[in-house]
Amino acid sequence: MSEEKRRVLDLAEQYVCPGRVRTFRGLGVDLVIGRREGYRIWDLDGQELLDLHLNGGVFNLGHRNPELVATLRDALETLDVGNHHFPSAARAELGETLARLTPGDLHYSVFASGGGEAIDLALKTARHATKRRKIVSIAKGYHGHTGLALAAGDERFSRMFLSQGAPGEFVQVPWNDPDAMAAALSGDDVAAVLIETIPATLGFPMPAPGYLARVKALCERRGALYVADEVQTGLGRTGTLWAIEQQDVEPDILVTGKGLSGGLYPIAATLLSRRVAGWLDEDGWGHVSTFGGAEVGCRVAQRVLEITTRPAVVANAKETSQHLSDGLEAIRRRHPEWFVEVRRAGLVMGLRFADPQGAMRMTRALYESGLWAMFAAHDPSVLQFKPGLLADAALRDEILARFEAGLERCKASLA
Ligand SMILES: Cc1ncc(COP(=O)(O)O)c(C=O)c1O
């Protein structure tokens, strides 16, 4: 290891997040990202990695996408973060674009600087609209580490920070279990059901046919609001701009983040239907966020949406999904005792291994084979496999070759 890399690792361990640095080192992953371009990153010591993690979709359009870098540079010629109290062209135009690109009556955009804040906003809105407190979410789901998002997530973290809420305030039910959802809603006291359209930390198990539509119908019957967390599944990653469009559900609230930033300027948004957005009229300071909807970030996000919705980009994503699926299935057939399932919705993929810790072992072997992809936090048998929207034919083949090499390396290390 170079002196420079050791210096950065030691500084991070000493001053930033010792537990996280130690955990990655323990996994055999001592990555410090240096150069980055397209879907490639290079460790400070020069090791090249294909990025199949994309930080949950932040780099959906690649690292330092040249069009997005140019947009940010242009914006910086005349703009800065702006003043969040006053209207701005950048923010207003982005709001108009999001309303136009989103089905149903998701009319208003409230901007945040990250996904967790945007989830908090969604839940605050639901509580205001329904005058109820209870929030139902999916067990082992993930919505961020801020206040209400943390409480709605796994108790590993909410308990740690004494943030579980009052008894019965945050309730979790198993994924794909409509009866459990019906029971949770039966008291007519739920403000919102918060659901990732395909839960990332669970390893992207697909919604059973009709499940989400049934949850929405239950919400309507019981006076609860449906909040779609599209922080990972939105922005073209599943074949439509929003994954929920394929589920016959019109959410009351939709949350987007990660890739909206283009990987260049933090921004997230909570889209509200007119029916639930009463607080925006009642008190314009109901939510305030100094950096939420920063003007330069809005300009980047506007360009992200323009690129993401180009017909050629949509077609390329579809082709990549099919090509990788065919290739992965062929690899799976060559290693059926180890690699057991390919879950897929567009470019959102979960690869399941027979060993309950299989994806954790694969993470390290793939890292050593030049591919960065991570196991699902709440199901380490599943590897999150997240190619970008702009991957070309050569990259797809390179991904498959490195994946199979990593898989063989992993199996050999266990033999
Ligand atoms: C599905 C989902 N929702 C919300 C969040 C929170 O986003 P942020 O880390 O920007 O607060 C994440 C982040 O990983 C996520 O994956």
| pLDDT tens column, 205-222 | 999 999 999 999 999 999
Give 51's contacts (C-beta < 8 A, 6+ positions apart).
36, 39, 40, 41, 59, 63, 372, 388
**In ligand 1, which atom is closest to the CA atom of 114?**
10
Query: Does the C-beta of 144 come closer than 6 Å to ligand 1?
Result: yes
| pLDDT tens column, 349-407 | 999 999 999 999 999 999 999 999 999 999 999 999 999 999 999 999 999 999 999 99
Residues β-bridged to residue 136:
171, 193
Distance in Å, CA 194 to ligand 1 centroid: 13
Bridge-based pairing of strands 253-256 and 225-229 is parallel
Comparison of pLDDT for 28 and 237, the residue scoring more: 237
At residue 88 the predicted structure's pLDDT band, cuts being 50, 70 and 90, is very high
| Residue identifier of the C-alpha nearest atom 7 of ligand 1 | 115
What integer is the mean pLDDT of 146-158?
Answer: 96
At residue 13 the predicted structure's pLDDT band, cuts being 50, 70 and 90, is very high
Instruction: Evaluate if residue 79 carries a pLDDT over 90.
Output: yes
| Residue identifier of the C-alpha nearest atom 4 of ligand 1 | 143
Residue 1: the pLDDT is: 92
Query: Does the C-beta of 227 come closer than 6 Å to ligand 1?
Result: no
Residues β-bridged to residue 228:
195, 254
Cα distance between the two ends of the chain = 28
| Residue identifier of the C-alpha nearest atom 2 of ligand 1 | 143
Residue 415: the pLDDT is: 84
Q: Do residues 236 and 244 touch, judged by C-beta distance below 8 A?
A: no
Distance in Å, CA 255 to ligand 1 centroid: 10
What integer is the mean pLDDT of 67-82?
Answer: 98
Residue 377: the pLDDT is: 94
Query: Does the C-beta of 56 come closer than 6 Å to ligand 1?
Result: yes
**In ligand 1, which atom is closest to the CA atom of 233?**
1
Residue 311: the pLDDT is: 98
What integer is the mean pLDDT of 37-63?
Answer: 97
Q: For ligand 1, pick from 111, 140, 232 the residue to mutate: most ligand atoms within 8 Å of CB.
A: 232
Residue 150: the pLDDT is: 98
Q: What gap in Å lies between CA 187 and CA 171, rounded to an integer? A: 12
Residue 278: the pLDDT is: 97
Instruction: Evaluate if residue 131 carries a pLDDT over 90.
Output: yes
Q: For ligand 1, pick from 120, 142, 157 the residue to mutate: most ligand atoms within 8 Å of CB.
A: 142
Give 343's contacts (C-beta < 8 A, 6+ positions apart).
203, 204, 205, 206, 349, 350, 351, 352, 382
What integer is the mean pLDDT of 53-75?
Answer: 98
Query: Mind listing the domains of the chain with CATH numbers?
Result: 1-32 (no CATH), 66-308 (3.40.640.10), 311-386+402-415 (3.90.1150.10)
Residue 145: the pLDDT is: 97
Residue 103: the pLDDT is: 87
What integer is the mean pLDDT of 96-106?
Answer: 96
Distance in Å, CA 143 to ligand 1 centroid: 5
Query: Does the C-beta of 141 come closer than 6 Å to ligand 1?
Result: no
Residue 358: the pLDDT is: 97
